[in-house]
Structure 1
Amino acid sequence: MRTSLFSNSPKSFLTIAVTALALTACGQGEQSNDDQASQGASDSQAQAGAEKYDRSQIRIVGSSTVYPFSSYVAEELGATTDLRTPVVESTGSGGGFKLFCEGASEDTPDFTNASRPMKASELKMCQDNGVDDITQIMVGYDGIVIGQKAGEPDLDLSREQLTKAVAAKVPQDGQLVDNPYNKWSDIDPSLPDHEILIYGPPTSSGTRDAFEELVMEHGAQNIDGYDGNKPAVRQDGKFVPSGENDNLIVQKLAQNGNAVGIFGYSFLEENRGKIQAAKVDGVEPKRELISSGEYPVSRSLFFYAKNAHVGRIDGMDDYVKLFLSDQMASDRGALKSLGLISLPPEELEAMREKWKNREQVTAESLKAEHG
C-alpha cells in the first residue's frame, strides 16, 4: 500500500472542519468571502437536501488515453482514505459520453474521461436526458504517436503522407478514387518498400477523432483534389481498428516490424525498448514539444463531472482534488511517470478554481473549446 500523499488523516480534516464551523458560529471566523463562496459551491448538493445514493463507489468511464492516469488516482484514493476505490472503465471518449449522458440516475457514471473536448451534440444528448450540470476539467496534454517496433529504421512521416496511407479515397487524375496505395513506397519512393499495415483506434475513441482532425483534415487541406472534403478512414484491411486498449496495439507492433500504430504518448513512455516513435512533419513526440504545441499532433486531456451526483456519491470532491493536486498532476507529480504532460502551474490552479465553482459546460464554452 502506498503511504498517504497528505499529512492529515480524514479524521483530522473532519476535526478542522468542525472547529472552523464552531469559530464561525461564534463570530470569530476570519474566512474570506471567496473562501465562503467556494465552500458553498462545494457543499451545494448537500445543502439542497440531496439524498445519498446506495452506490458506494465512484464510477468512471471514457478515454483509454486518460484511463491510466484516472486509474492511478482512483487506486491512491482507495489506498489513502476510507473511501472505496473508484471503478474505472476504458470505453473510449465517445463511448464514455454516451454512458455519461444517459441520465442523472444512480446507475449512470459520475465522471467520464476524454481525450478531446465534448461535442455540442454530446452536450445536447446530456441535456435531453436531464444531465445539464457538468463541469469540464482539463488535466494535461498528450501527443498522438505514430509508433513502430524498436530497432526498425527511423520513420519521418508528413501528415500528407499519413493521410494518403489512411484515407479511404485519395485524389487521382482530378477525381477521388478508392485508395490504391498498398505499400508506403507507393506514396513516396523515399518511404519503406513494405505493405501498409496500421493498427489504430476504433470509431469510439477520442484518439481516432483527434487523429482524423489533426492529421487527416490537415493533410487533405494540403493535398490537391480533396476540395474541402474530409477523408474517411479506409476499410480495406490496411487500417485495423484495434479496440480501446492501446496496450494491444503496442503488443502487435512488438511482434511485427512492418506495422505502425496510432496511440497516446503515455503508452510510448511505458513501453520504451519495445517500440519507438516516428517523427511527424520532422518533429519528435517529446514531452516539451507536445506541451508547447510544436509537435503537430498534440491535444488536451479532460474529464467531465456530473455535478448532480456530488453529495449523493461519496468521494467525488475528494477524487477531483486528488487528481488536481500537485502530488498528482503537476510537473513533479506521480502521473508524470505514467506519461502525463502537465499543465503549467497557473493553468492547474485555474482548473482547481473551476472545480470549486462548479463551472458549468455550455454550448458557448464548447464552441470556444473547439475553436
Structure 2
Amino acid sequence: MASLTRSIKTISNDLYKERNLKKLVSKFKQYSDITRFRTKTGIYESTVHRLASAKRFKWIEEILEHQKQYRPDITKENFNVRLVSLYGKCGLFENAQKVFDEMPDRSLKSVNAILSACVNSKKYDKLESLFQELPEKLKVKPDVVTYNIMIKGLCEKGEFDKVVVLVDEIEKNGLKHDLVTFNTILGAFYANGKFDDGEKMWNLMVKKNVKPDIRSYNAKLVGLVNENKVSEAVKLVGELGSFELKPDVFTYGALIRGYCKKGNLEEAKKWYGELVNSGSAPDKAIFGSVISSACEKGDFDWAFELCKEVFKRKCNVDMKLLQGVVDGLVKSSRVREAKEVVHLGKSNDYHLYKLNLPSDE
C-alpha cells in the first residue's frame, strides 16, 4: 500500500510540474487507466482548474469525456457527480447537464450537483426551473444543502426578495438553517447596500442559535464600512476575542479599505501593519487600496515600499496601479526609485507588468 501511495504521489507531482498543457492532457488520460488515480478528486480539480485558467475548454471536455469509458466507475453516482461538478466549475453547463441526464441512478446528491453547476456556470434561470421540476420528477425532497445552493444563486443574481422567501421555506419544510445559509445571505446583503436587511438576518441567526464565525463578522464589517461606520467596525474587531475568534486577512482588509475610503492614510497604515504582524499576507484588493491611497496622498515613500512588497509576494495586481506609482515617483524627482520599480516588474516574469518610465526620462 505504501509503494502504491508513493506512486500516486509521483504521478500527482508529474502532472503538477508539466508546463506543456497538451502533454498534461495526454498524461492525464494515460494515468486515468489506474483505478486508484480515478479516486483522487483533488488531482481532477487541480488539472481542470489549470486548463480552465488557460481557457482550454476543449481539452477539459477531452479528459472528462475520456472518463466515460471506465466501468463500473461511470455507473456509480459519485463518479458522475464529480464530472457534473467539474464541468460546472469551468462553466461548461451543457456538458454537465448531459452527464446528469445520462446518469443511470440519480439521488438528491445528483440534484444538488447539477444545481451547483448552474450557479457556477451562472445559469440562474436554469437554476430556478430545475429547482422547481427535479425534486418532483425524481421524487426527492430538497435538503438544506439544496436551499443553500439556491440562495447562493439568487444572491448572485440579485434576487434578494426571493432569498427571504426561501429562508422561510426552509423552516416550513422542517429543515434547519445552518451557518452556510446565513453566511451566504449576510455576505450578499451587507456587500450590496442592504445593511438593515443584513441586520435582520443577523438577528434571525442569533435567534436560531447558529453561532457566527469569522466569515459572519467579516460580512458585517464590510456592511459597516460601506455605511461609513468605520469606528463601529473597529470596535467590533476589538470584540472578536470575546467570541474566541481571531481577525484574518479579510477582517483587516475591511478596516484598511474603510480608512482608505475616508482618506485616513495613517489609520490605514496602522491596520496594514497589524495585518502583516499577524502573519497574514496582503491580497490583491488590499494592495490596490493602500497603493492608490498612498499615491493620492503623495506618500510615495510608502507607495514605493508597497510596490517592492507586491513583487516579493508575487501578487498579481493591476499594472495601471504600479504604473501610477512609477509616474508619481518621476514627478516627485524620485527617478532612481521609479527605475527600480520598472526593473522589478521586468525581472519578475509577470507579463502584465510592462512598466515604463515617462517618455522624457
TM-score higher than 0.5 here? no
TM-score normalized by the length of structure 2: 0.25
> Which structure has the higher relative contact order (CA within 8 Å, separation 6+)?
1
Q: Higher strand fraction: Structure 1 or Structure 2?
A: 1
Q: Higher helix fraction: Structure 1 or Structure 2?
A: 2
TM-score normalized by the length of structure 1: 0.25
